[in-house]
Amino acid sequence: MTDGRSPGADVIIRDVRWEDFPELRDIYYRLYDERDRGEPIGITLFGERPSPEDEVDWFARTYRAVLSGDQVKSVAEVAGHVVGSCDIRRQAPHASSEMGHVAVLGIVVDAPYRGRGIGEALMRHAIDRSRGRFEVIRLSVFSINERAQRLYRKLGFVPCGHYPRAVRRGTQYFDEEEMVLLLEPANSPARKG
């Protein structure tokens, strides 16, 4: 959160577990409800809500990538329930690819828990877990989402591009800002010794 508040002692930030799937799916599905109500959510969605089978496939791929080290996925838990997640996944198919050092960040916090510092805590945890694994983390953010952009800047992300009309939601278009965070390379002299 940009005002310096911490998420509170009732929030646990941890690595994802297999059993988190149902609550992560439900949070994602609620984003479709927000979009359908015309709320200005700052995440791109498919035209139609994915099927439960599609979501199982997605989570299996995600969890496999976490286990292989190609993705970091942090979750926020309140009173035993998952309320948000942040993932940082390798952009290229393999670490040995020419862009294997680049990762893409995605974050979502369930509506009732937004504005409590949970997003910042999730990102800090995921970024910390990414050190030595990735060197560049990039993200896209809706241009109108100034609150998120302030948070990203606070965490060290810098703007690196602007995409006009990047997202079309019905008849409305949204521009996106690209931002990037440079992490210290794993083989950097500063990391040795």
pLDDT given for residue 41 in this prediction = 80
Average pLDDT estimate for 137-159: 95
* Domain 11-191 class in CATH: alpha beta
Predicted confidence band of residue 32 (pLDDT cuts 50, 70, 90): very high
Statement: residue 66 has pLDDT above 50 = yes
Residue 142 contacts residue 173 (beta carbons within 8 Å): no
| CA dihedral angle for residue 40, residue 46, residue 51, residue 57, rounded to 10 degrees | -110
Higher pLDDT, 191 or 32: 32
- In this model, does residue 164 exceed pLDDT 80? yes
User: Residue 83: what residue type?
Assistant: V
Q: What is the pLDDT of residue 189?
A: 58
What residue segments make up the domains of the chain, in order of their start?
11-191
pTM score of the predicted model: 0.88
User: For residue 1, what pLDDT is reported?
Assistant: 34
Q: Centre a 10 Å sphere on the Cβ of residue 12 and count the other Cβ atoms it contains.
A: 14
